[in-house]
Amino acid sequence: MKQVPAVPAARSLSPGARSPRARSPRSRAGAERCPRRADAGPAGRPLLRGHRRGAGAAAVVEDDRDLPRRPALRGHRRAGAAAARTSITSRYEMLYRSTTAQEELALHAATAREADAALRPLQDASLGSLTVYVVPETSSLLPQGISVYVGKHRSALVRAGGGLAAFHTRLRQLTQVMSFTASSIAAALSDRVPDGQLGPDARRHLKSSLGYEITFSLLNPDPKSHAVDWDIEDAVNRYVQPVLDKLSLVANFSVDSQILYYAVLGVTPRFDKESSSFLLSAHSLPHVINPVEARLGSSAASLYPVLNFLLYVPERSHSPLYIQDKDGAPVSTNAFHSPRWGGIMVYNVEAPASPQASLPLHVDVDMVRVMEVFLAQLRLLFGLSREELPPEFLVESPGNEGLADWELDRLLWAHTVENIATVSTTLTSLAQLLGKIGNIVIKDDVASEVYRAVASAQNTMAELATGHLHSAFQASKEAVTSSERAFFDPSLLHLLYFPDDQKFAIYIPLFLPMAVPILLSLAKIVRETRQHKKEPTKMD
């Protein structure tokens, strides 16, 4: 069987309506373009074979009239003027070509998964680009009823057929799944978008940072009856580390764990007679974390945000403990997560068969069960939840790495945009501060940091506009670092400067006596002019 490829790649995102490389005025308007030529592939297969289109961009500019316009995303700068709204536009750059012989060979595999694995070494693996292979309608590579297969890496298989329009829609959905959607970018900018525009999910994501600290804590409120032991070191090496290795491109991660004894939740669970178990209802969950957090300990040695994953082994007098969702049904994982903070899982210990069993009861935690939940929560916190997909989509599970390559790209797109927004906010606030205090001293190193931040931010935009995701992200990180360093420079402290109104207060003893003769003579002048006016009227 012969597959005809279309390789749309190198998509560009240009934020802030500045796209220096925009090839036509239209492309700046934010219209998303799908490959017009791609649909010709499956239909006219022999025709396209060997006909490699290198200049996809030219084609793109021509045919975007029958495609829906993507609503431009509106972002807000928090500290900036209200009028300083920014819109983000994006643009896809498509390239078409036929398959190479090796790809052809790889696509002969029995299943889509094998094909995906075999295609991996053949792709150019630059961040942010996607390779879509169009397979004939009759291909048995994809299972029945599935027309789009999203692989673990930066590639997807799309079944041709169903007409041009259907194929368009499919491709558009595919690119949105594998890169970013308006909502994922909006979520990244959620701090700068006014309330009410976003769902609760948007605020779940962690803010972009140069590093994160992940802390696993085992809470044992009742060490007298439970001697809980967990092999966290092995579990971290086995399950968490592969994910973090993959994410190391995004940020630095450090992992540690601790066991806290006598740490209790802030809520007393309700006893349910029917199931003879204890229940935590969904509305009481917000109160659970605060008393625990006091014990968690802050990360004194670094400034990175901390992700907390707590494993709570309920006291003997409160077990088994189950979490209920809003409808009153028990949550199957017995876990919940708190946006931007972390997750909590309740781990029930089976009561010993004989009540005479000696205390403390030795408990070995099943780390597979725990880590499954924590990794799912980790993905949620990074905003990598799988969205609702049409039934014809089949998304390959990321496997042991916990993260597909294209999901990493999604994260990078969002973080790059967020970093730029952070930089602009920081610099705006700094500019406001400097504007407020006229005589503030700006040292040379602070000034150079500001210049560097602006240059890096501009560099980021330029790189984004050309679609170089990796260098754009690196530049955005530099911009954040420089802007933060400038902003938090100890010499730029508001309180170091004497407010002008107090200076005036000190000189009141001078101004007040000096004002007296002036005011008196003013009063005299007024009196005299009045008299002057009266006299002529009298004469009249």
Partner 1 sequence: AAGPGRAGAGRDALREELLLSPLPAGDVAATFQFRTRWDADLQRGAVSHYRLFPKALGRLVAALGVRELHLALTQGFWRTRAWGQPPLQAPAGAELWVWFQPTVTDVDKAWKELSNILSGIFCASLNFIDSTNTVTPTASFKPLGLANGTDHRLLRYAVLPREVVCTENLTPWKKLLPCGSKAGLAVLLKAERLFHSSYHSQAVHIRPVCRDASCLAVSWELRQTLTVVFDSFSSGQGKKDWSLFRMFSRTLTDACPLASQSKVYVDISPKNKENELLEVTPPPASVHEAVVQGDKRTYAVYDLLSPSLFNTSRSLNVQLKWKRPQDSSELPTPILHAQRYVSGYGLQTGEISTLVYNTHPYRAFPVILLETVPWYLRLYVHTLTIITKGKENKPSYIHYQPAQDRRRPHLLEMLIQLPANSVTKITIQFERALLKWTEYPPDPNHGFYVGSSVLSALVPSVIAMKAVDVEQSPLFASLFPSSDGSSYFVRLYTEPLLVNLPTPDFSMPYNVICLTCTVVAVCYGSFYNLLTRTFHVEEPSRDGLAKRLANIIRKFRGVPPL
Stretches 11-19, 226-234, 344-352, 492-500: which one binds partner 1 (CB under 8 A)? 226-234
In the region spanning residues 402 to 461, those forming contacts with partner 1, defined by CB under 8 A, are none
Q: Using CB under 8 A as the criterion, what x/- string covers residues 137-176 for binding partner 1?
A: ----------------------------------------
Shortest CB 234 distance to partner 1, Å: 8
Query: Using the rule CB under 8 A, which residue among 82, 101, 110, 298 binds partner 1?
Result: 298
Q: Which lies closer to partner 1 via its Cβ, residue 233 or residue 325?
A: 233
Q: Which lies closer to partner 1 via its Cβ, residue 224 or residue 369?
A: 224
Q: Which lies closer to partner 1 via its Cβ, residue 44 or residue 297?
A: 297
Residue 111 touches partner 1, criterion: CB under 8 A: no
Query: Do you know the residue count of the chain?
Result: 540
Residue among 220, 226, 261, 229 nearest 367 (CA) = 229
Residue among 343, 333, 253, 255 nearest 292 (CA) = 343
Residue 261 touches partner 1, criterion: CB under 8 A: yes
Q: Which lies closer to partner 1 via its Cβ, residue 297 or residue 352?
A: 297
Token reading at 448: 């150079």
Shortest CB 9 distance to partner 1, Å: 40
Let me know: does 146 contact 24? Beta carbons within 8 Å: no
Q: Using CB under 8 A as the criterion, what x/- string covers residues 184-223 for binding partner 1?
A: -------------------------------x-------x
Number of residues that bind partner 1 (CB under 8 A): 36
Stretches 48-56, 322-330, 383-391, 517-525: which one binds partner 1 (CB under 8 A)? 517-525
Residues near 28 by beta carbon (within 8 Å), at least 6 away in sequence: 14, 17, 19, 22, 89, 91
| Separation between Cα atoms, residue 226 and residue 262, nearest integer Å | 11
Residue 262 touches partner 1, criterion: CB under 8 A: yes
Q: Which lies closer to partner 1 via its Cβ, residue 438 or residue 513?
A: 513
Let me know: does 57 contact 99? Beta carbons within 8 Å: no
Stretches 80-88, 315-323, 439-447, 507-515: which one binds partner 1 (CB under 8 A)? 507-515
57 half-sphere exposure, CB direction, 13 A CA radius = 13
Q: Which lies closer to partner 1 via its Cβ, residue 63 or residue 233?
A: 233
Query: Using the rule CB under 8 A, which residue among 231, 245, 445, 500 binds partner 1?
Result: 231
Query: Using the rule CB under 8 A, which residue among 257, 281, 458, 466 binds partner 1?
Result: 257
Token reading at 503: 């200076």
Let me know: does 9 contact 38? Beta carbons within 8 Å: no
Let me know: does 31 contact 69? Beta carbons within 8 Å: yes
Using alpha carbons, list the distances in angstroms from residue 19 to 13, 90, 128: 9, 9, 17
Residue 498 touches partner 1, criterion: CB under 8 A: no
Residue 245 touches partner 1, criterion: CB under 8 A: no
Residue among 11, 85, 5, 65 nearest 41 (CA) = 5
Query: Using the rule CB under 8 A, which residue among 297, 352, 390, 499 binds partner 1?
Result: 297
Residue 325 touches partner 1, criterion: CB under 8 A: no
162 half-sphere exposure, CB direction, 13 A CA radius = 18
Using alpha carbons, list the distances in angstroms from residue 210 to 78, 247, 305, 445: 21, 12, 9, 22
Shortest CB 227 distance to partner 1, Å: 8
Residue 495 touches partner 1, criterion: CB under 8 A: no
Token reading at 394: 């089949």
Chain centroid to CA 349: 36
Query: Using the rule CB under 8 A, which residue among 82, 301, 353, 495 binds partner 1?
Result: 301
Query: Using the rule CB under 8 A, which residue among 256, 366, 387, 535 binds partner 1?
Result: 256
Query: Using the rule CB under 8 A, which residue among 140, 241, 258, 385 binds partner 1?
Result: 258
Let me know: does 382 contact 244? Beta carbons within 8 Å: no
Residue 291 touches partner 1, criterion: CB under 8 A: no
Residue 375 touches partner 1, criterion: CB under 8 A: no
Residue 360 touches partner 1, criterion: CB under 8 A: yes
Stretches 238-246, 255-263, 375-383, 436-444: which one binds partner 1 (CB under 8 A)? 255-263
Long-range contacts of 406-410 (CB under 8 A, 24+ apart): 406/130, 406/150, 406/153, 406/154, 406/178, 406/179, 408/127, 408/246, 408/247, 408/249, 408/250, 409/127, 409/128, 409/154, 409/178, 409/179, 409/469, 410/178, 410/179, 410/180, 410/184, 410/384
Stretches 145-153, 166-174, 431-439, 504-512: which one binds partner 1 (CB under 8 A)? 504-512
| Separation between Cα atoms, residue 465 and residue 316, nearest integer Å | 59
Stretches 101-109, 198-206, 267-275, 299-307: which one binds partner 1 (CB under 8 A)? 299-307
3-state class (DSSP) for residue 260: strand
208 half-sphere exposure, CB direction, 13 A CA radius = 30
Q: Which amino acid is at 212?
A: Y
Residue 254 touches partner 1, criterion: CB under 8 A: yes
Q: Which residues bind partner 1 (CB under 8 A)?
A: 215, 223-224, 229, 231-233, 236, 254-259, 261-262, 294-295, 297-302, 360, 506-507, 509-510, 512-514, 516-518, 521
